[in-house]
Chain A
């Protein structure tokens, strides 16, 4: 909302400089966003909050200033015009239009508008058109009530009907655009056709021109919902609809109609030959008085406010106030729908006094009644710390994804669609982070950052609900070490190790990777991630064709995505202290030829047969040479034997080791190499 200082001075003698006024308005809740010089005028751009449609007018703003400086508001005196039957107006539906005042004025002469008032309008960015049109605009900005003037001779059948448009009906609006209407849009029609889109814009062909002699002046109360929906549907907005959408007081229609009639008679001549005020629906009954006591003020603000001062402020704002010793009774003015309860009244007083002039106290933050599971609350944060410690960079990517990007990752599952997506690139809730992570990887690679260790803690969204996930992506080489200049390539075992180490530290029980296929990964290069027996995610080498679709060339990319709600649920309590073994350990290495995917089985079997002294099995080397039988791999394992009670002898360790190897051969069909 714009505010012209010269225009404001017509209504109030505030005695403030532009800077002072700007500051005081801002600190009373009418934030001045810009101040502009316009000739000898100063124009403020004010952010009016949606609860204050009354401030979308010069008089509304002047009333605020009057409360701020505690000086009288000079409201223009407006004439009274009696109803006569000579204008035919009908309202089809009271819910759409509560009131329609039509005033017919004959014998006018269309001329330029009064120079002084024309200057005010220019502050609002309105170019002068003609006295009649400019008067409707002037009163729009003065009272906040949109008006429209029809050329009465162009209304067919001398009729005004406020009705819904018919499907397919057309109108060319004042901006010279032909618009197609439907039943959801309210129009003003004559006997045959729509002549205006109600509350939004008039029709071109029934507007006032230089040759107009008779006008019909409209001032109406439309339902804010129907205007709002029509404006959105048509993609058309205007100063009128901006105000109707926010709600205009029922009574304003009358004052504004009379004010415009006064001005037309004064500046364009003519006589009122007819006027109808059609009331389809009375406004809500009398305002309920709100009683505010000294105690109420103390309780809400934590500070006393002088009731005499409160009364003064409220009266300046247009309230009717009755004061008693320890309370005031307040009846809000008709244009303030936002004042309904005590808190509203107290806010009115507090904002004019200035929040910064109210005291402050440090509250006692109450002992909270909410039991927090620290383990769960800090899980994400600790998991983040683990990955950061392991050299991963945390990323934040969008939760939305396009169908095309998702399809590139061969995703086939269910998705949640947005109804009102802004673009095809953001039309789905992502069911996986893979596409967005690949976009990040590709962008980095394009900028020469080819060694990537990335992770995100975010969500995936499925028709069953949203789930927290950990996504990890690696590509390129491991971190440099000048002592070993040849840098090795990152692969899935970097991700698996990071997951194992982090989950180990966070005491997530039983996380295993099992052989599995997934359309996102190269054949035979992927795993399912199981946590405590539940399918929790997947990991693998992203399929080459997918990489190509994301413009990732000449790079291997590994990715994992794990449901960390499942992981968090699988956290076991901190273990009991285990005494450190004091007796010497003995290590036996063994080379085995195994079928693929056997390590977990081997480990389990070994430990089962380890008689409590096989303490650790380390994977030392993977051998894949041609000396092995087809479909086999060579594992070199290192087994650590140690007793908590005594020093083991060579013989007993060798004996036990052979027993274990025999079991492996017997049960798992592995071969010794």
Chain B
């Protein structure tokens, strides 16, 4: 019995495509590959064929077997997929979020800045917010009744200073009192960062608040120079405000440093403020009077100190126009950062 190999191949293709269900496909498989199917029948016929016919028939049977197997496997996968499609996972639906909270932008800013200094070897120290006149003023070479106190206008508490007869406690108007506290407690060398809240009787508006955050830095050792101060703060500004930050050290006055400077910067991260010098921190070499207040022997140590306002930096960096945003705590603001 002659076999029309090409016709059978065409039949196989047709039958497989026509099978619309797994059962129909199984019937097709049995028709060709089953024990009583066509392919075994072809092999069975090999015995009675002539040697030329044998060769052609053997190859034909093999080809049909391979073709049938491949087509059926393929078709099976396609049928399975379409069967599954109805209840397949819709991966476009949003994931279930557990509502991760947020760290306040001021807290993040403080941490970022402190981290830069920590990586340079500074350690974090903290001082009290309720301070004495000694630490807030006298120890920092700020005399009573001097206009330099104007820039440190202060809230006084209705609570006596146990360490100074007749004087009252106050809310620190800057983080600098921490300098003398740290120096009294430890011996040099030291490199510390003192973050915290400070208070000044300023009426609240878009750029003023009676409570804000500062970060103070102090490095004390032997042979510390103004060049070191410039170098360290330049390293900080490049790290924090970008490698391409432009800086200038502008002479200024602080009673507790000599020489004193303010640092202005231009940074690309301050959107909309390109090309404008913005004052970013105050700094200077520790005044001998401050070492004296800390009880250090004259002329033995040198050091530098610096301080910066956290709100100001966060406002510039993130384009926040109103300082009150920080304490309003609208959760839509909180969740942005």
Could you tell me which A residues sit within 8 Å of B by CB distance?
26-29, 31, 49-52, 224-225, 228-229, 245-246, 299-303, 341, 343-344, 346-347, 350-351, 355-356, 358-363, 365-370, 372, 377, 381, 384-385, 387-400, 416-422, 426, 429, 440, 443-444, 447, 449, 452-455, 459, 461, 463, 465-466, 479-483
B-chain residues with CB within 8 Å of residue A483 when the two chains form the complex = 96
A-chain residues with CB within 8 Å of residue B106 when the two chains form the complex = 396
Given contacts A50-B146, A299-B225, A358-B230, 11 further A-B contacts (CB under 8 A): A299-B302, A300-B225, A351-B251, A351-B259, A355-B261, A358-B226, A369-B188, A384-B107, A394-B107, A397-B329, A455-B101
Indicate if the CB atoms of A418 and B128 lie closer than 8 Å. Answer: no
The proximity string for B residues 193-230 relative to A, scoring 1 for CB distances below 8 Å and 0 otherwise, is 00001010101000000110000000101011111111
Q: Which 5 A-B pairs have the closest CB atoms?
A: A302-B225, A366-B189, A302-B227, A29-B251, A479-B99
Query: Is B328 interfacial (CB-CB < 8 Å)?
Result: yes
Query: Is B103 interfacial (CB-CB < 8 Å)?
Result: yes
Can you list 9 A-B pairs with a CB-CB distance of less than 8 A? A245-B147, A343-B288, A346-B259, A355-B259, A391-B99, A393-B329, A419-B155, A465-B130, A479-B99
Indicate if the CB atoms of B221 and A361 lie closer than 8 Å. Answer: no
Indicate if the CB atoms of B253 and A52 lie closer than 8 Å. Answer: yes
Indicate if the CB atoms of A350 and B189 lie closer than 8 Å. Answer: no
Indicate if the CB atoms of B231 and A449 lie closer than 8 Å. Answer: no
Indicate if the CB atoms of B189 and A228 lie closer than 8 Å. Answer: no
Q: Given A362, A392, A454, A463, which contacts B159 in the complex, CB threshold below 8 Å?
A: A463
Given contacts A50-B147, A346-B259, contact A363 B224 (CB under 8 A): yes
The CA-CA distance from A479 to B96 in the complex, in Å, is: 10
B322: min CB distance to chain A, Å: 14
Query: Is B104 interfacial (CB-CB < 8 Å)?
Result: yes
Indicate if the CB atoms of B329 and A355 lie closer than 8 Å. Answer: no
The CA-CA distance from A400 to B155 in the complex, in Å, is: 11
Q: Given B158, B203, B225, B335, which contacts A416 in the complex, CB threshold below 8 Å?
A: B158
The proximity string for B residues 294-337 relative to A, scoring 1 for CB distances below 8 Å and 0 otherwise, is 00000000100000000000000000000000111111101100
B-chain residues with CB within 8 Å of residue A363 when the two chains form the complex = 219, 224-225, 228-229, 231-232
Indicate if the CB atoms of B331 and A452 lie closer than 8 Å. Answer: yes
Indicate the member of A355, A385, A416, A481 with the most B CB atoms within 10 Å: A355
Q: Which chain A residue has the least Cβ–Cβ distance from B289? A: A341
B118: min CB distance to chain A, Å: 10
Indicate if the CB atoms of B248 and A27 lie closer than 8 Å. Answer: yes
The CA-CA distance from A396 to B253 in the complex, in Å, is: 32
Interface size range on B against A: 35 or more
A-chain residues with CB within 8 Å of residue B203 when the two chains form the complex = 422
The CA-CA distance from A598 to B43 in the complex, in Å, is: 83
The CA-CA distance from A187 to B242 in the complex, in Å, is: 57
Given contacts A299-B225, A447-B330, A465-B130, contact A482 B94 (CB under 8 A): yes
Indicate if the CB atoms of A50 and B150 lie closer than 8 Å. Answer: yes
The CA-CA distance from A443 to B93 in the complex, in Å, is: 33
The CA-CA distance from A466 to B130 in the complex, in Å, is: 7
Could you tell me which B residues sit within 8 Å of A by CB distance?
93-94, 96-104, 106-107, 111, 120-125, 128-130, 145-148, 150-151, 155-159, 168, 171, 182, 186-192, 197, 199, 201, 203, 210-211, 219, 221, 223-232, 234-235, 248-253, 255, 258-261, 285, 287-288, 302, 326-332, 334-335
A-chain residues with CB within 8 Å of residue B146 when the two chains form the complex = 50, 224
A-chain residues with CB within 8 Å of residue B249 when the two chains form the complex = 355-356
Q: Given B94, B128, B171, B327, which contacts A396 in the complex, CB threshold below 8 Å?
A: B327
The CA-CA distance from A180 to B246 in the complex, in Å, is: 54
A-chain residues with CB within 8 Å of residue B334 when the two chains form the complex = 393-395
Given contacts A29-B252, A343-B288, A366-B189, contact A50 B104 (CB under 8 A): no
A-chain residues with CB within 8 Å of residue B287 when the two chains form the complex = 343
Indicate the member of A225, A301, A453 with the most B CB atoms within 10 Å: A301
B328: min CB distance to chain A, Å: 6
B-chain residues with CB within 8 Å of residue A347 when the two chains form the complex = 251, 258-260
The CA-CA distance from A393 to B103 in the complex, in Å, is: 6
Q: Given B94, B101, B120, B285, which contacts A300 in the complex, CB threshold below 8 Å?
A: B285
A239: min CB distance to chain B, Å: 15
The CA-CA distance from A420 to B248 in the complex, in Å, is: 38
Indicate if the CB atoms of A29 and B168 lie closer than 8 Å. Answer: no
Q: Which chain B residue has the least Cβ–Cβ distance from A377? A: B124
B289: min CB distance to chain A, Å: 9
Given contacts A347-B258, A400-B210, contact A416 B190 (CB under 8 A): no
The CA-CA distance from A27 to B192 in the complex, in Å, is: 29
Q: Given B102, B156, B251, B288, which contacts A393 in the complex, CB threshold below 8 Å?
A: B102
The CA-CA distance from A459 to B126 in the complex, in Å, is: 13
Indicate if the CB atoms of A361 and B235 lie closer than 8 Å. Answer: no
A-chain residues with CB within 8 Å of residue B328 when the two chains form the complex = 440, 443
Given contacts A350-B226, A396-B327, A422-B201, contact A370 B125 (CB under 8 A): yes
Indicate if the CB atoms of A416 and B159 lie closer than 8 Å. Answer: yes
The CA-CA distance from A356 to B327 in the complex, in Å, is: 38
Indicate if the CB atoms of B101 and A449 lie closer than 8 Å. Answer: no
Indicate if the CB atoms of B186 and A341 lie closer than 8 Å. Answer: no
Indicate if the CB atoms of B223 and A299 lie closer than 8 Å. Answer: yes
Indicate if the CB atoms of A366 and B251 lie closer than 8 Å. Answer: no
B202: min CB distance to chain A, Å: 8
Q: Which chain B residue has the least Cβ–Cβ distance from A453? A: B101
Indicate if the CB atoms of A392 and B96 lie closer than 8 Å. Answer: no
